[in-house]
A and B are shown apart, each in its own frame.
Chain A
Amino acid sequence: MKIGKTYWATVVVALIASVGVLCTKPASFPEADYDPRLTGGMATVFDLSSQSFSHPIPGLSAWDSHVHEKGDQIFEQSFVAAPAPLFSGLGPLFNNVSCISCHHNDGKGTPSFGEINSSMLMRVSIPGKDAHGGPVPVPGLGLQIQDRSILGFQPEASISVSYQDSLVRYPDGSTVLLHVPRYAITQPYVALPADLLCSPRMAPPVFGMGLLERVPAEEILAHADPDDVDHDDIKGHPNYVYDPVSGAQVIGRFGLKANVGHLLTQVASAFQQDMGITNSVFPQENSTLQGDGLHDDPELPDSLLNAVKFYVETLAVPARRNVTDAQVKAGEQYFQQIGCAKCHLPTLYTAVDVRFPALSNQRIHPYTDLLLHDMGPALADDRPDYQASGQEWRTAPLWGIGLFPKTNGTPYYLHDGRARSLEEAILWHGGEAATSKNRFMQLSSAQRQAVISFLQSL
C-alpha cells in the first residue's frame, strides 16, 4: 500500500515535471540573449572603417568567393564607349560610368547634381499608368533623365539644385536650419511636357540586399495596416510592381519607393538606365531618340550581370557599435517610445534558403518594414510609382546609418540628400511620421542627443 502510493506520487510528479519541461522549452531563449550587435544575423561583419559595407557574407565557398570578387571588380569598373575590347557599351546616354561612382564604398551617394561624377538622378514620367500599372514614360526622355552622354551625342537635359533655408524651432527654443531643395531642368533635348512629374534620387547603399530579398512576403504583409485598424495614424502598405524577369506582379522591396521586386531587375535596370549598358533583362538602349546605331545588344554578358547581382546579394551588414553605452540604450528606448520603431522595425526574419546559410533563417535588424508610408507634403515628389502615391516612400533601412560619415566623408540623408545631419533627417519627417517627429521635438536636448547617439550606433 505504502510503496504503491509513493510509486504513483513519483510517477505523477515526474509526468508534471516532464510536461513542464516540454511546454517551456521552445520559448526558453530570451530576447536579451541575442547579441544586439548582430545587425545581419550570421551575415554580420565587424569593421568600422570606410570599407565596412564592402565585405562578403561569411562562409562563401571558394567558387562563390570568386564570383563575389568578379562582381566586385565589375561594380568598380568604369565602362567605356562601344566598340571597345573591354568593358564596352557605356551610353550613348548615361548618368554615370560605374556602379561605385554613385554607390560610394558600396554605400550611398552625395547630392551632386550637375557635377561630373554625380550620384543623383532624376526619374520622370507623365500622369497615368502604363499597361502594368507603372509610371508612363515621357516621350523622348523615358522614365529617367540621362544627363551625360558620350561624345557626339546630346545629354537629355542638365539638372541643377539650389537650396533655401527653413527654420525649425524646438519647444525648448533651440533651432535647426533645414535645407529646402529646388530642382531645375535646363537645356532639355526635347520640349518638356507641361504635366512632367519628377523625382530626384540619391544613390542608396547596396549592402544587406540578399537579406532583404529573403524576408518573406508574408512577414512584410503582417506589418501592413492600410486601413489603420489600430488607429495609430500609421498605415503602411506594400508596393506591387511588374517584374520583367518573372513577367509577374511581385511585392516591391528595393528602390526608394519599393518599385523593384528582385535584385536581378534592380541591377539590370541600373546598368541600362544609369549607365546605358544593355543586358538580357533590358536589351534596348535607354533612349528611343538617340540610339548608338550598333547591333551589339545586349552589351553586358549575362555572366557579368549575374556576378554583380551576386556581389550585392552577398554583401554583409556591419555590426552595431557601443550597444552597452548608457546614452545609446536610453536613445533606443526613446526611439521605441516616440513611435519611430513602428515603421523603422528593428527586427525581421529571413526565410530558409539552403543555398546561403548566412542569409537563411536569420534574425536581422534592418530598421525598416519595407512598406510604403505617407511622409507628408514636404518630402513628397508628387510622382506616383505603381501603388506608391506622390507622398509615399518606402521606410528607409537604418542599418549602417551611423557609418555613413566613414564611408562617405560628409554624409547626407533622405532620398535626395537634403538632410545634412541625422537630426535634420528626423525633422523632415511628416505625414504618418508627424506624431513621432513632434514627440521627438518635445524631448529635452539631452534626450534628443540620446536618440541621435542610438542612430549613430546602427
Chain B
Amino acid sequence: MGSLSIRFVSLMIGFAVCAFTLSGCKKDEENHIINQPALEQQVLDDFVHVVAIPQYAALHAHADSLQQTVNAFMQSPSDLLLQEARNRWRLLRQTWEQCEGFLLGPVEDDEYDPRMDTWPVDYVQMDSLLASNVPLTLQTVQQLDLALRGFHPVEYLLWGKDGNKTAADFTDRQKQYLAALVADLEQNTAQLYQSWISEGGNFAATVIQAGQGSTRYLSRLEAFQAITGAVAGICDEVGNGKIAEPFTRRDSLITESPFSHNSMQDFKNNIIGAQQVYLGDYAGTDGKGLTDLVTLHNVALDNQIRQQFTRAIQSLQQVTLPFEQAIYLQRTQLSRAMEALADLENTLSGDLQNYLQQYVKD
C-alpha cells in the first residue's frame, strides 16, 4: 500500500510537471504565433506614422521656415538674417539627411533626391546664369538642370565659395536666385509630404497594406526587405561613397556640403535616420521597429545591430574637424568610421535580411 501510494504520488507529480512544462511551452509558442503577425503590422504602421510621415512633415516645415527667413532677408538684408537663414538651412539639412535613412517610395520613384540634393554644384553654369539676364523666378529655376537646383546651390549662395560671405556681398540677382531656389525646395518638400499622406498620393497605404492588396509589396516580408534594403543602402552610401571617395582621392572638392562645412553632420544624420527606422522611434515617440521583430527570435542579433549603430555614430563623432580638412588630417578617425559603417552595413544586408527571410512568413 505504502509503496503503491508513493508510486501514485510520484506519478501524479510527474504528470503535473509534464503538464506544467507542456503548458509552459505551449503558452510561449502561442504567444509568438498569435502576436507576430500583429507585431509585423504594427512595425509597418509605425514606420509610416511614427517615422516617415512626421519626418516629411518636419522637412516641409523647415523648408517653409527657411523660405520665410530668406523672404525677410530679401526685404531687409542683414548679417543677422543671413545667419538665421544659414541656421535654418542646417536644420532643413538635418531632417533631410535623416529622411535619407529610408530612400524608398515617392522620394525614389519621382526623383526627389536628384531634384533637391545633387552635388557638387555647377559653379560654371551658376555664374553664367547669374551673369545672364534670364529671369530668376520659381518657374525658370524649375526648368534648370539638377545641379543648379536644390540644397547645394542654396548653400553656395548663403555661404559663398570660401564660407565667409556677408549680407553686403549679395547682388540683386543672387538674392532673386536664392529666393527662387528656396521656393523650389519648399514646393518639393510639400509634394513629397503630400505623396505619403492619405489625403494625397497615399504611399502610406502602399506600405501598410503590404500583403493585403498593396500592388508594390505583395507580402509584409517584401516591405520589410525594402525598408531594410534602404537602411543598409544609406550606410553603404555614407561609408563607401560619401566618405570613401574624397578620402581615397584626398580631394576636398567632391565633398557633400563644402561651403557650410556641414558634411560630417550630413553623414551622422544619415545614420541617425537609419537608426530611427530600425528602432521605430522619432522625435520622442517610441514606436515598434524592426528591432522588436528581431528580439522575438534573436536577441543577440538585435544587440549587435544596436551596438553597431551606436559605434558607427560615435566613430563619426570622433572626427572633430570639418570633413574637408579631416580627409587630410584625421584619416585614422575616418578609417575607423568607414570600418564601423561597413560592419553595420554587412550585418543589415546579411544577418538582418536572412533573419527576415527566415522568420517573416506571411
Q: Could you list which residues of chain A lie within 8 angstroms of chain B, going by C-beta atoms?
A: 47-51, 69, 73, 78, 80-87, 90, 97-98, 100-101, 104-105, 116-117, 148, 150-152, 405-406, 408-410
Select A80's contact among B124, B129, B226, beta carbons within 8 Å: B124
16 A-B Cβ contacts within 8 A? A49-B104, A49-B225, A80-B125, A80-B147, A85-B253, A86-B253, A90-B145, A101-B111, A105-B108, A116-B143, A116-B144, A117-B146, A148-B145, A151-B125, A406-B216, A409-B109
Determine if B24 is an interface residue (Cβ-Cβ < 8 Å): no
> Which residue among A48, A80, A409, A410 has the maximum number of chain B CB atoms within 10 Å of its CB?
A80
Select A49's contact among B118, B226, B245, beta carbons within 8 Å: B226
Mark contacts of B126-149 with chain A using CB atoms, 8 A cut-off: 1 yes-contact digit, 0 otherwise.
001100101000000011111100
Q: Which 8 A-B pairs have the closest CB atoms?
A: A409-B109, A80-B122, A49-B229, A49-B226, A81-B125, A78-B118, A81-B124, A151-B128
Which residues in A have their C-beta under 8 angstroms from that of B212?
A: none
Q: Could you list which residues of chain B lie within 8 angstroms of chain A, going by C-beta atoms?
A: 104-106, 108-111, 114-115, 118, 120, 122-125, 128-129, 132, 134, 142-147, 215-216, 222, 225-226, 229-230, 233, 240-241, 245, 253-254
- Contacts beyond the supplied A80-B147, A85-B253: 9 A-B pairs with Cβ under 8 Å: A50-B229, A80-B124, A81-B122, A84-B124, A97-B145, A101-B146, A151-B128, A151-B129, A406-B216
Select B147's contact among A78, A85, A116, A410, beta carbons within 8 Å: A78
The complex places the Cα of A81 from the Cα of B104 at a distance, in Å, of 30
Shortest CB-to-CB span from A18 to chain B, Å, is 46
Interface of A is mostly: loop
The complex places the Cα of A115 from the Cα of B125 at a distance, in Å, of 20
Interface of B is mostly: helix
Which residues in A have their C-beta under 8 angstroms from that of B216?
A: 405-406
Which residues in A have their C-beta under 8 angstroms from that of B114?
A: 78, 98, 100-101, 117
Q: Is the CB of A73 within 8 A of B241?
A: yes
> Looking across the interface, which residue of chain A has its beta carbon closest to that of B104?
A50
The complex places the Cα of A90 from the Cα of B253 at a distance, in Å, of 18
Which residues in A have their C-beta under 8 angstroms from that of B226?
A: 49-50, 406
Q: Is the CB of B233 within 8 A of A409?
A: no
Shortest CB-to-CB span from B225 to chain A, Å, is 6
> Looking across the interface, which residue of chain A has its beta carbon closest to that of B115?
A117
Q: Is the CB of B109 within 8 A of A408?
A: yes
Q: Is the CB of A152 within 8 A of B128?
A: yes
Q: Is the CB of B106 within 8 A of A409?
A: yes
> Which residue among B115, B128, B147, B222 has the maximum number of chain A CB atoms within 10 Å of its CB?
B147
Which residues in B have their C-beta under 8 angstroms from that of A408?
A: 109
Select B120's contact among A86, A100, A101, A150, beta carbons within 8 Å: A86
Which residues in B have their C-beta under 8 angstroms from that of A78?
A: 114, 118, 145-147
The complex places the Cα of A69 from the Cα of B248 at a distance, in Å, of 13
> Looking across the interface, which residue of chain B has its beta carbon closest to that of A116?
B143
Q: Is the CB of A117 within 8 A of B111?
A: yes
Which residues in A have their C-beta under 8 angstroms from that of B108?
A: 50, 105, 409
Which residues in B have their C-beta under 8 angstroms from that of A49?
A: 104, 222, 225-226, 229-230
Q: Is the CB of B110 within 8 A of A409?
A: yes
Which residues in B have their C-beta under 8 angstroms from that of A69?
A: 240
> Looking across the interface, which residue of chain B has its beta carbon closest to that of A48?
B222
Which residues in A have their C-beta under 8 angstroms from that of B129?
A: 151
Which residues in A have their C-beta under 8 angstroms from that of B104?
A: 49-50
Shortest CB-to-CB span from B98 to chain A, Å, is 20
The complex places the Cα of A237 from the Cα of B253 at a distance, in Å, of 50
The complex places the Cα of A117 from the Cα of B111 at a distance, in Å, of 9
The complex places the Cα of A84 from the Cα of B145 at a distance, in Å, of 15
The complex places the Cα of A80 from the Cα of B126 at a distance, in Å, of 10
Shortest CB-to-CB span from B217 to chain A, Å, is 9
The complex places the Cα of A48 from the Cα of B104 at a distance, in Å, of 13
Q: Is the CB of B145 within 8 A of A51?
A: no
Q: Is the CB of A51 within 8 A of B147?
A: no
Which residues in A have their C-beta under 8 angstroms from that of B120?
A: 80, 86-87
Q: Is the CB of B147 within 8 A of A97?
A: yes
